[in-house]
Amino acid sequence: MPKQPLALTLDLIARVHSVPVPDDAAALQVMTDEELVPGLEQIIASRGRGSGGLWVFAYGSLMWRPEFVFSERRIGTVRGFHRRFCLLQRRFRGTPERPGFVLALDRGGLCRGVAFRLAGTDLRETLMPVWRREMRGRGYVARWLPVATEAGPVSALTFLVNRASDRYSGRLTDAEIAKKIAAACGHIGPSAEYLLRTVEACETLGIHDRHLWSLQALVAEHLRACPPGCQSTSQRGGYRLA
């Protein structure tokens, strides 16, 4: 049977979120490289010997925008954690008034994603780009987790949600999450675009995630309900959907 087309599209998103949003550095103060180094050293020290290469497990934007050099890519499964929009984004793809969401791994279930084998011999130099990207906002904690792949298991650096962070939303319903995603936009783009890119990447890889599929349909409904010109900007650049 042919694949069902996505309800959410870039045209639909652009129709609602057409006004650029200025950056607000005060909305989320990110860690400097100096502040990130101790945590990076700890995770490197905790890595077991004979790990069969340096791997990172991707389940969100790292799947479609890895921003690191890799020598191998495998579809893999992590057990004990599931992919969920549970990390609030008050900057980048949202504002304090209208926060969006990004994905994290939360407890329970399983997650299919991509295990990337990073290219490079210096662990610190190789890991710093992805460490900076994922850890500077204090929304994640890092673990080495086993990833099952068809070519055998690998131990991969994996970013789990930091439940102690004020960005952790807890377990909201898909309807609650979709409403926030539809309304949110930051200086790098709408939260809905992040969702769309991720669900497209999963579908291309043969990974069907019911949470993502439900959300894209719900977000599309919210955006379709907003006629052209209905958006208005808040004082800090967020968007209001009718």
CATH code of the domain containing 73 = 3.10.490.10
* Residue 57 placed within a domain: yes
Q: Over the stretch 75-98, which tens digit does the pLDDT of each residue have?
A: 999 999 999 999 999 999 999 999
Mean local confidence (pLDDT), 21-42: 97
* Residue 103 placed within a domain: yes
The pLDDT assigned to 228 comes to 63
Q: Is 148 exposed, middle or buried (0-12, 13-18, 19+ CB in 10 A)?
A: middle
**For residue 212, is pLDDT > 50?**
yes
* Residue 191 placed within a domain: yes
* Residue 241 placed within a domain: no
* Residue 213 placed within a domain: yes
Which two three-digit tokens encode residue 225? 């309900």
The pLDDT assigned to 226 comes to 84
> pLDDT band at residue 50, thresholds of 50, 70 and 90?
low
The count of domains in the chain is: 1
Mean local confidence (pLDDT), 153-175: 96
49-63, 85-99, 140-154, 207-221: least confidently modelled range: 49-63
To the nearest whole number, what is the mean pLDDT of the chain? Answer: 91
Name the percent of the chain lying above pLDDT 90: 86
* Residue 215 placed within a domain: yes
- The torsion region of residue 159 among left (phi > 0), alpha (psi -120 to 50) and beta comes to beta
**For residue 241, is pLDDT > 80?**
no
* Residue 35 placed within a domain: yes
Catalytic residues: 134
CA separation for the pair 191, 180 (Å, rounded):
8
> pLDDT band at residue 29, thresholds of 50, 70 and 90?
very high
CA separation for the pair 30, 171 (Å, rounded):
25
* Residue 4 placed within a domain: no
**Whole domain around residue 50: which residue ranges?**
18-228
